[in-house]
Amino acid sequence: MSEVSLDMDKLEALSGKVVTDITGAIGVLLSYIGDQSGVYKALETHGPCSASQLATATGLNERYLKEFLSSNVGSGYVTYDSQTDEFSITPEQAAVLAHEGEPTCVQGFIQAVVGQYATYDTALDVFKTGHGRPWSEHHICCFCGTDRVFGPQYEANLIDSWIPSLDGIQAKLESGGKVADVACCHGSSAILMAENFPNSTIHGFDSHEPSIEVARGKAKEAELSNVEFFVSTAKEIPNNGYNFACIFDALHDMGDPVGAAKRINDVLAEDGTFMLVEPLAGDTLEENLNNPLSALFYGFSTLVCVPCSKAQEVGLGLGAQAG
């Protein structure tokens, strides 16, 4: 092997970036632990306090909690006052880490990442063999995290922005229309439409039966009678003459997105509308690199989206940054 001269400035910059990413990886796991154990919410509720006081309030081990909080301070996720030896969480930190259901909260992304680490052996095997990986073979954190990521976005945009932007759809749904929510996952978007358009009938479809069971449970808890959920692929949904059909952040995961779109066109009423929402992306890698989230999207696409598509009929493998 010939000797290579290294640019030390570039080497140090890259090494620093990688070490920062490794630190972030530890922060992701600790943030998940803080989310699932209720530490961030408890810290917000309690206010500034010592590790001992927070341990008493949460019932957690003080020694573990002190190390956890110290790491979080180093990451900027928690605030520390050295004069009082107290920890606290600012409104901004709480918005990002503790406010479930709000668009500012990133715990859904964190949970989805943890789900990939939990099944790293499968991810490695899929990558090395080129095999597909069905959605059903992912860790439960992948399903729950995905719903936590997208649910608040639908809450913020679907009723007040997206539907009103479509000619005549809001009026149809208010008077009473038929809606097909395709690849609905845990049913957040379908339930949101059912709640806001009580005169309409909402049908949610997903090929993943456990997700459909979760959606049915959520609809029952909300006491909604105008929404039903069915186990079905996009290409198998029934022809009910839907006035409105939608796919949110899922077309790129499908093995045959062209066939799915064709089927939706076939099951729409003559004046029906199909709304498609996909991750923001350009048509080329060069364009997508202008998006600071490109590495995140391409990463999930490597681990989830493309393998999911390849596990299905056709296996087109569009990926999350298809453009």
pLDDT tens track, the chain, 323 positions: 578 899 999 999 999 999 999 999 999 999 999 999 999 999 999 999 999 999 999 999 999 999 999 999 999 999 999 999 999 999 999 999 999 999 999 999 999 999 999 999 999 999 999 999 999 999 999 999 999 999 999 999 999 999 999 999 999 999 999 999 999 999 999 999 999 999 999 999 999 999 999 999 999 999 999 999 999 999 999 999 999 999 999 999 999 999 999 999 999 999 999 999 999 899 999 999 999 999 999 999 999 999 999 999 999 999 988 87
φ/ψ (deg, to 5) at 207: -80, -10
Task: Look up residue 227 and give its two tokens.
Answer: 């929404």
Specify the 3-state DSSP secondary structure of 3: coil
241 and 267 Cβ atoms separated by less than 8 Å:
yes
- Rounded distance between C-alpha atoms, residue 307 and residue 122, angstroms: 11
HSE toward the beta carbon, residue 9, CA cutoff 13 A: 0
In the chain, the amino acid numbered 81 is D
Segments of 223-298 assigned E as strands: 227-231, 242-248, 268-277
Residue with tokens 């479930």: 100
**Biggest CA pair distance of the chain:** 74
Quick one: angle between helices 107-118 and 120-129, nearest 10? 70
Residue type, 138: H
Show the domains of the chain with their CATH numbers: 9-99 (1.10.10.10), 101-323 (3.40.50.150)
pTM for the model stands at 0.94
Residue 52 phi, psi (nearest 5): -65, -45
Map tokens 């050295």 to a residue.
82
Helix H or strand E segment including 22: helix 8-37
